[in-house]
Amino acid sequence: MPAAAPYRLVVFGFISGNRRVGSLLHAMAALPDPGLFTLDIYGTLADSAGVSELLEELGLQRQVRIHGFLSAETLAAALHGAHLAVNLRFPTMGEASASQLYIWACALPSLVTRTGWYADLPGDAVGFVNPETEVEDLRAHLLAFHADQAPYLDAGRRGRAVAEAQHRPADYAEGLLRIAADGGMQHRRRGALDAAGTVSRVLTDLAGPDALRFAAPGFARAIAGLFGQPG
């Protein structure tokens, strides 16, 4: 059943500048009725003083609540009670997002930045925000959610299906086991490469690059045998 305004937005995690809270606040303030949405912020704010100043400047003190960190159980309850999650990253650090998996596990609609890992997420499982039109896109999403929640609710359900199909804990555990089983070979390979590099530098310093060209095959075979690597 569609929710009634005010709708509850949520941002959570370690919240530095790349989480774009300032842009979200500007988008909320630019709505025809800023009271349509409230925002709950869970986690550590890297610039809490700056956020407080912006809230006062935009007149959003009543709509925004800053809670600090919660236990996993309390955070899950908070996400289940929210209507829309905002999970922006710009600039991206090249990271995937445990936060997005939490959001999807709750079938919660979410907005993400169209960049890095997030840009490859299914378009029917998230709402995209472009970095170059960030405030405008956020405002458009908020107004669209108010006009018709159904597409966003569908995206939340689709996100949960994606998480269940592609991010199962059992698959993650199996991947770790494969890495662990392969660890010995990878350590030997790394050792062989390091030894080859050392031999190359020493031989070049002693006899010059021409000596390396003639001696390299023999040294390579010796190093491969020492480390149990294919010749």
Domain with CATH 3.40.50.2000 in the chain: 7-167
Contact present, 116 and 128 (Cβ < 8 Å): no
H-helix or E-strand spanning residue 56: helix 48-58
What's the Cα-to-Cα distance from 135 to each of 122, 139, 213, rounded to whole Å?
A: 22, 6, 59
Q: State pLDDT tens for residues 179-216.
A: 566 666 666 777 667 776 776 677 676 666 666 566 66
Residue of 184, 183, 189, 186 lying closest to 227 (CA atoms): 189
Sign of the C-alpha dihedral, residues 127, 129, 130, 133? positive
Distance CA 29, CA 217 (A): 69
CATH class of the domain at 7-167: alpha beta
Q: State pLDDT tens for residues 41-81.
A: 999 999 999 999 999 999 999 999 999 988 889 999 999 99
pTM for the model: 0.74
Contact present, 9 and 42 (Cβ < 8 Å): no
Q: In sequence order, which ranges of 59-168 are alpha helices (DSSP H)?
A: 72-81, 98-105, 116-119, 134-147, 150-166
Distance CA 89, CA 15 (A): 10
> What does the pLDDT read at residue 119?
95
Tokens of 72: 């996993």
